């Protein structure tokens, strides 16, 4: 059994955050561990409030856990303060964690700030150089790179820029409007410093909660099993396709993925 850790925020809807990650890990067949960085007040219509966990408590969770249980892969989600980013970065360095997936969560779909700009700067300077994979969506990739992504060329330049910040592999998720041939498809753009590869599947209409969390969790789980980022990315996209097909609507707002 592979032990996979998610470091991120709690979501009471279980559609995103720690709760969704643990469901994904269980579905794929790895053992899920969690360290909580923030408690959120949210439902399927949006995020109302974010309360960060004190950095010392985050540190205690991390080190107490690893005194007992070895880790085979780690993903980070919402790291809402610069102090928490520093704690997590120090932990990754000291533990020598190689298979680190960074999901650079910044702003929720409903517009709530989840990670402030100072913390995002710390993610860029402290955490990306330690990561094996970073998985921004198009908006996050524009923010990280400083390049407004409007077409395929700007997306490629953004991927190159983000990789230059230290990540081994950049996967820009959920692009779909840069080529006429991509109509009706959701495309992840995989860049490892050589060529930009497209990993596509059907695009599903509607609003879905937690897609970035679920994708990065699936990628991390598969990475712990195979060690290959490209293979893991392809398997994670297939996992997402099935999750969209079994999505459900527990509330009045966005649907949640079926994982």
Say how far apart CA 15 and CA 250 lie, in whole Å: 10
Task: Please state, in angstroms and as integers, the Cα–Cα distance from residue 5 to each residue in 109, 180, 254, following that order.
Answer: 24, 39, 26
pLDDT at 126: 95
pLDDT at 195: 83
CATH number of the domain that residue 213 is part of:
3.40.1190.20
Residues 6+ apart with CB under 8 A from 100: 73, 74, 75, 76, 92, 127, 130, 131, 132, 133
pLDDT at 5: 98
pLDDT at 189: 95
Beta strands 196-202; 185-191: pairing state: antiparallel
pLDDT at 108: 61
Residue-level pLDDT, tens digit, the chain, 259 residues = 999 999 999 999 999 999 999 999 999 999 999 999 999 999 999 899 999 999 999 999 999 999 999 999 999 999 989 999 999 999 999 999 999 999 998 766 655 656 678 888 999 999 999 999 999 999 999 999 999 998 889 999 999 999 999 999 999 997 654 554 456 788 899 999 998 999 988 888 888 989 999 999 999 999 999 989 999 999 999 999 999 999 999 999 999 999 8
pLDDT at 110: 56
pLDDT at 133: 98
pLDDT at 245: 94
Domain that holds residue 179: 3-256
Query: How many domains does the structure of the chain reveal?
Result: 1
């Amino acid at each position: 059994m592979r032990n996979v850790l998610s470091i991120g925020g709690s979501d009471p809807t279980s559609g995103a955050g720690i709760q969704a990650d643990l469901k994904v890990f269980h579905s794929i067949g790895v053992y899920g561990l969690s360290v909580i960085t923030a408690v959120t007040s949210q439902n399927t219509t949006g995020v109302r409030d974010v309360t960060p966990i004190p950095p010392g408590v985050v540190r205690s969770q991390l080190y107490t856990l690893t005194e007992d249980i070895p880790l085979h892969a780690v993903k980070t989600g919402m790291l809402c303060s610069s102090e928490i980013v520093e704690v997590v970065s120090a932990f990754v360095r000291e533990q020598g964690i190689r298979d680190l997936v960074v999901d650079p969560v910044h702003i929720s779909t409903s517009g709530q700030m989840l990670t402030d700009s100072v913390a995002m700067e710390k993610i860029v300077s402290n955490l990306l150089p330690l990561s094996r994979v970073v998985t921004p969506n198009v908006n996050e990739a524009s923010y990280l790179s400083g390049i407004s992504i409007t077409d395929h060329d700007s997306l490629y330049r953004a991927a190159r820029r983000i990789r230059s910040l230290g990540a081994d592999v950049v996967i820009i998720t959920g692009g779909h409007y840069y080529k006429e041939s991509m109509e009706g498809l959701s495309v992840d753009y995989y860049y490892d410093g050589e060529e930009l590869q497209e990993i596509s599947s059907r695009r599903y209409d509607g609003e879905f909660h937690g897609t970035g969390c679920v994708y990065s969790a699936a990628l991390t789980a598969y990475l712990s099993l195979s060690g290959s980022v490209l293979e893991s990315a392809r398997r994670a996209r297939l996992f997402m396709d099935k999750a969209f097909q079994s999505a459900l609507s527990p509330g009045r707002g966005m649907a949640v993925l079926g994982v």
